[in-house]
Amino acid sequence: MLDKTGREYVRAKMPMIGVGTYQVSSEKDVYASIDAAFDAGYRFIDTAQDSGYNNEQLIGKVLKELLPKHNLTREDIFITTKLMVENQGNEKAEKSILESLKKLQTDYIDLLLIHFPGCNRNDPNDPRNPVARKESWEVLEKLYNEKKLRSIGVSNYEIVHLEELLGHAKVLPAVNQCEYHPYYYTKDLVKYCESKDIHFQAYSSFGSEVKKQALLTDPKVTALAKKYGTSVTNFLLAWALSQGISVLPRSRNPVHVKENLEALKIKITPEDIEAAKADNQTKFLWDPTKY
């Protein structure tokens, strides 16, 4: 299919809620999380090359057992992984993605994202950043054309990075995965992605590991969760889902993994979506605004 400018784009069948696996790095936890997820009905796993995940190989290993256990095939599930900062550029990008395929023990990846717009996160003015972004995207397009990647996209991209990408991309990015919750709601970026037919996906729906208690105990959020007769975590997931934004909750607790899926049944009104928003935005994780 082609977009209005003639660029090719793909819309793989991606579920609206997936299992996040950040910091789920032991084989026991990976197995328990995905086993509970499949049992509950999840069909979407999100991982990355980054050391904060360190679980591509474990996911590939446990899927060999869990897919037949749950009467599933590889085609029944959706896998996202991400090109880490240190692997941006021509040769490193392709080599690392092929390695991800081996670790995940699959012939294709459903969605491959560039994890961050900077190749050197310590120096936002590094002139290598835009070069690496372009080279990395060309590698993604090559592997997409070779059917090794079913769809391609980005993560943590601001409007300026998307504008740059759209200036040379032959394949439209399918997804932009970013931090998004009532404390950090990038209205302009979400609208921009929507206008360009780029699906906006949220990570850190509960805030960061260090500061998430502030979001989970926020009086406005807790009152609204009570209004909808649900937990604060499910309200936060439903808050994004009700905006057409997919989510990637992470938990090592199989009970919580199953509970998170209930958020799909909750519809938050536009008025309550606005009511949940904090007056001042607080970004918990990576800040890509200057890269």
Binding residues for substrate: 115
Residue pointed to by tokens 């918990």: 284
Q: Which residues contact 156 (CB under 8 A, 6 or more apart)?
A: 115, 116, 117, 177, 178, 179, 286, 288
Q: Are 120 and 128 in contact (CB under 8 A)?
A: yes
Tokens of 142: 């090559």
How far is residue 193's CA from residue 195's CA, in Å, rounded to a whole number?
Answer: 5
- Catalytic residue status for 31: no
Taking the CA atoms of the chain, what radius of gyration do you get in angstroms?
18
126 is written with which tokens?
Answer: 């590094």
**Which residues lie below 8 Å from residue 74, measured CB to CB, with a gap of 6+?**
63, 67, 106
Binding-site residues, in ranges, read 115
Tokens of 105: 């023990």
How far apart, in whole angstroms, are the C-alpha atoms of residue 207 and residue 131?
A: 32
Of the residues 22, 31, 53, 291, which is catalytic? Answer: 53
Positions marked catalytic: 53
